[in-house]
Chain A
Amino acid sequence: MPKDGGIGASSKRREDVRFLTGEGNYTDDINIRGQAHVFFLRSDVAHGALKGVDTSDAAGMPGVIRIFTGADFEAVGGMPCGWQVTDKHGQPMQEPRHPILAHEKVRHVGEPIAAVVAETLEQARDAAEAISVDIDELPAVVDMKAAVASDDVKVHDDLTSNLCYDWGFVEENKAATDAAFEKAAHVTTLELVNNRLVANPMEPRVAVGDYARGTDDHTLYTTSQNPHVIRLLMGAFVLGIPEHKLRVVAPDVGGGFGTKIFHYQEEAFVTFAAKACNRPVKWTSSRSEAFMSDAHGRDHVTKIELALDAQNNFTAVRTETFANMGAYLSTFAPSVPTWLHGTLMAGNYKTPLVYVNVKAVFTNTVPVDAYRGAGRPEATFQLERVIDKAARELNVDPVELRRQNFIREFPYATPVAVEYDTGDYDATMDKVLEISDREGFAARRAESEAKGKLRGFGINCFIEACGIAPSNLVGQLGARAGLYESATVRVNATGGLVVMTGSHSHGQGHETAFPQVVAEMIGIDESMIEVVHGDTATAPMGMGTYGSRSIAVGGSAMVRATEKIIAKAKKIASHLLEASEGDIELKDGAFSVAGTDKSVAWGDVTLAAYVPHNYPLEDIEPGLEETAFYDPSNFTYPAGAYSCEVEVDPATGEVTIERFASADDFGNVINPMIVEGQVHGGIAQGIGQALLENCAYDENGQLLSASYMDYTMPRADNLPPMDHYVVDHSCQTPCTHNPLGVKGCGEAGAIGSPPTVINAIIDALQSGGHKVDHIDMPATPSRVWSAIHG
């Protein structure tokens, strides 16, 4: 029987009432009296010396309040980077200055050069057209290998090269790994590209700065996944505003996918300009601006090698990756190709030796940072593609080759510095083979062939490190922030309560799922619980939402705070019931004395806490409000097995996804419906990456895919038909170290699906006699056709 409330129930998403009826309160819905508008004049060349910005004509145009250029920000800090990577020689990465408005040089198309604040947006835009910018265009460097091979074009003149860092992991294992390759019975090598993506949340970025001269208080409303992080970074490192004088509000946010984690120039600008102009200042990104100013994702070029012994056991993995940083370091960019990627290169397998080399490179492109999965999709793609290729070369079943090498004993310390606490990779593999009806594949292939089509079956396993992360560990790895989470539980006199969480919901459904946990713990109805998030003025200092961390870390903080509430409530109940505290039991929203029929309801206890007439005032304080900070002791390790069936039309190269199945192990599941929705969304983005999405530049650094006319978003008809699209999460090995036993589900779909799709396409092509080992993503019809026709 499905539950109708509490943990495990598919409670309907309460936030959808306002989202679906147009009652959401997004940042662009915020309009403050007296608000002015800013338009950013952005560079249309990828690389150039900025000789001058003449604003004299523009300054006198109607409605113009003030025009800002790079010179106005010389006294202000640059955009900070939140993670420092140490290279293989023990040296810190090269960290260029990242100005709010371009200064002396422009380094990518879309970089802001000037900002016009005017009464209306149209006036700001008119004035921006009257600004004359003198740029000496320089040759641009777009290709990462070219950027490293030569210093002819340097993105940053004051750095020694275009190399941000050259990272080796684990450097001590390098010699042993090389030796294992010498001894290998078989080595499979694959070169591949993990395509650059644009996150494209439905809601573009928006920022509104407000300043109260009378109190010297600053407020920033912004589309952020982590308002406290923005407050800390912008307040402390950019503008020098103490946190008690700066409030950051991220109200309803329409999707983030990582790209709204980072601190952006526009946020700092509106906060700065609001004070400078003594006017609220608003910026709303157009979709075109989003393409050239939101941090992009992925963009790795990798050579991976897999060594096997004569019995087909994996003996070593070695990779060399070039990771594009773009023109500047976005907030968490350095961590993505390193700690979020190298640490996952063991995958689900007991390969004893792994060596990962990553060269992070500056190019004249938009900065690249975390995008749904961040580093883990890149790791999974390489590993699972090379394993599939090895299976073909060795003529063994790709399922069996994987199984043979599965890790089966937990906890398991990988050679890449992480310890998997629990998992069962056979269970998810068995499950996916069952729900995908692999048995019936041969018959379906025959049917496709009868129509002149090729059909392929692709299988894939993945593991991710989620619930980021232990603060002391990430501190050692270069994070310049902690990664705990916080919650305050405020119980009201009549028994309802509010959870103020440092997690941020931008589509995930926290307002529904979080109350389910508290309802289960106390035994009250979910409707008595409200979640508040996204405002530094109400929530305790929290680190926000990304890395599938909300329920694992934020949910755990909420559990800890609720435990404190229950402990105190039991004390109050024991007083009211005149029983000893140890005998008090909480069940179904009532406190009772064990072994008796004496009880008080939850509401009586909460009322007593705020109307303490009959109350143990000498022992405990009135009121019922507790805060907890939770810092996990390890990552969580969701894992799973995915399968996909594609049909390829050899005449056109068109690929259609006929069937898709996922078997995920997320540990315990709070709300199955929400979890399935997250997986569906993740798979849609993964299929988007595999078949459709491609952020492309030409050799001059011009963005070729700068709008939806050329950047292909997945649409409903690109996804598998619903009757052959099975999303399963019944295999559950609960996380061993957080109180809910949860692992996180937000990124799994985007991590697990791209290699599944490509593996299926290669299987289809091979079945048609086409000797194609690999196709780079996106596998567009034209690429597939070209692969077929050599």
Chain B
Amino acid sequence: MYNFDVEMPGSVADAVSAMGREEAQALGGGQTLIPTLKQRLASPSVLVSLSKISEMKGVCTGEDGALCIGGATVHAAVAKDGFAGLAGLASRIGDPAVRARGTIGGSLANNDPSACYPAAALGCGATIVTNSREIAADDYFQGMFDTALEEGEIITEVRFPVPEVSRYEKFVQPASRFALVGVFVARFSEGVRVAVTGASEDGVFRWAEAEAALSQAFSENAVDGLSVPADGMISDLHGSAAYRAHLVGVMTKRAVANAA
């Protein structure tokens, strides 16, 4: 680790001004950032901790019926208070220690191609709310570790339209237990959304073909015969592109079968 200062603002406004300091970086639960600092792969001069900002924490239902989750809400809280698919997802992130500290804002800001939350946000068509604007999930994710966030922008809240039924199926990468392939399926009255994480070199994506088929008939069989191309899928120590492409189909079916 290199040396740095720490700021502990109590409000979003104070956090925004602290983020104005040179080489400032937001600190959520630190589950990704702290190991990065320890390895000296990042060298912020100020860490702006978001964990003391109560307006950024907690889960509630908004006027439009959406589930509103503060940007600094930890995974354990979402595992308790989220709707079925989202709670299931949060309850399988990492281990109890990670879930007690890691936050939804941190996960979405980081946009690890193997992370779980991006699948839920895209799969539900969530809105990412920041200190300055609202961003639709469809516009937010821009490739591996890349998002629409501007320098210094803070995710203050994430608003999830609540689906009729939903499910996240995660096939774990054996070592990290992040998603080798994770599929979030959500059924809304206006149609079904399917988002896939872990698989693509471009990060989380929607599987349009499966969405169309499942919107027609929400059953496992609807996915039969559909496949995503192996082209552009990640290939590494833990699985080839073809294997990942295959798992997208298997996990989608399982998500449909287990949706609640």
Contacts and interface: CB of A to CB of B under 8 A. Distances in A.
Interface of A: 122, 125, 129, 288, 651-654, 692, 694, 696, 704-705, 708-713, 780-782, 785-786
A125 B40 CA distance: 10
Contacts of B39: 288
A652 B172 CA distance: 11
A785 B246 contact: yes
A785 B243 contact: yes
A125 B1 CA distance: 9
A708 B175 contact: yes
A612 to B, nearest CB: 61
B165 interface: no
Closest 5 CB pairs of A and B: A782-B239, A712-B175, A712-B174, A709-B176, A782-B243
A713 B174 CA distance: 9
B4 to A, nearest CB: 12
A130 to B, nearest CB: 13
A787 to B, nearest CB: 12
Contacts, number: 44
Given A122-B1, A652-B247, A782-B239, A711 B40 contact: no
B171 A652 contact: yes
Contacts of B246: 785
B176 A694 contact: no
B175 A711 contact: yes
B237 interface: yes
A696 B237 contact: yes
Interface of B: 1, 39-40, 171, 174-176, 236-240, 243, 246-247, 250
A651 B238 CA distance: 16
Contact of A782 (B1, B40, B238, B250): B238
19 contacts: A129-B40, A288-B39, A651-B250, A652-B171, A652-B247, A652-B250, A654-B171, A692-B174, A692-B175, A694-B237, A705-B237, A711-B175, A712-B174, A712-B175, A780-B174, A780-B238, A781-B171, A782-B239, A782-B240
A709 B1 contact: no
A712 B250 CA distance: 23
Contact of A709 (B175, B240, B247): B175
Q: Identify the interface centre among A696, A711, A712: most chain B CB within 10 Å of its CB.
A: A712
A122 B239 CA distance: 38
A129 B41 CA distance: 12
Given A710-B238, A786-B243, 7 more contacts: A652-B247, A704-B237, A709-B175, A709-B176, A710-B175, A711-B175, A712-B174
A776 to B, nearest CB: 14
Nearest to A709: B176
B250 A710 contact: no
Contacts of B171: 652, 654, 781
Q: Identify the interface centre among B40, B236, B238, B250: most chain A CB within 10 Å of its CB.
A: B238
Q: Identify the interface centre among A710, A782, A785: most chain B CB within 10 Å of its CB.
A: A782
A122 B4 CA distance: 13
Contacts of B247: 652
Q: Identify the interface centre among B175, B176, B240: most chain A CB within 10 Å of its CB.
A: B175
A704 B174 CA distance: 15
B54 to A, nearest CB: 33
A710 B237 contact: yes
Contact of A781 (B1, B174, B175): B174
A709 B239 CA distance: 14
A781 B246 CA distance: 12
Contacts of A654: 171
B237 A786 contact: no
Contacts of A692: 174-175
Contacts of A781: 171, 174, 239
Contacts of B239: 780-782
Q: Identify the interface centre among A122, A125, A696, A710: most chain B CB within 10 Å of its CB.
A: A710
Contact of A710 (B176, B240, B243): B176
A785 B238 CA distance: 12
Contacts of A711: 175
A603 to B, nearest CB: 51
Nearest to A691: B174
A195 to B, nearest CB: 12
A710 B176 CA distance: 6
Contacts of A651: 250
A782 B238 CA distance: 7
A289 to B, nearest CB: 12
A696 B174 CA distance: 15
A62 to B, nearest CB: 12
Contacts of A704: 236-237
B126 to A, nearest CB: 27
Nearest to B181: A652
A651 B176 CA distance: 22
Contacts of A710: 175-176, 237-238
A107 B39 CA distance: 24
A651 B240 CA distance: 15
A608 B24 CA distance: 76
Contacts of A785: 243, 246
Contacts of A708: 175-176
Nearest to B38: A286
A600 B247 CA distance: 77
Nearest to B114: A709
A140 B237 CA distance: 20
Nearest to A718: B174
Contact of B240 (A652, A713, A786): A786
Contacts of B236: 704
Nearest to A705: B237
Contacts of B250: 651-652
B115 to A, nearest CB: 13
A705 B246 CA distance: 24
B165 to A, nearest CB: 22
A270 B231 CA distance: 51
Contacts of A696: 237
Nearest to B171: A652
A129 B40 CA distance: 11
Contacts of B237: 694, 696, 704-705, 710
Nearest to A710: B175
A711 B237 CA distance: 10
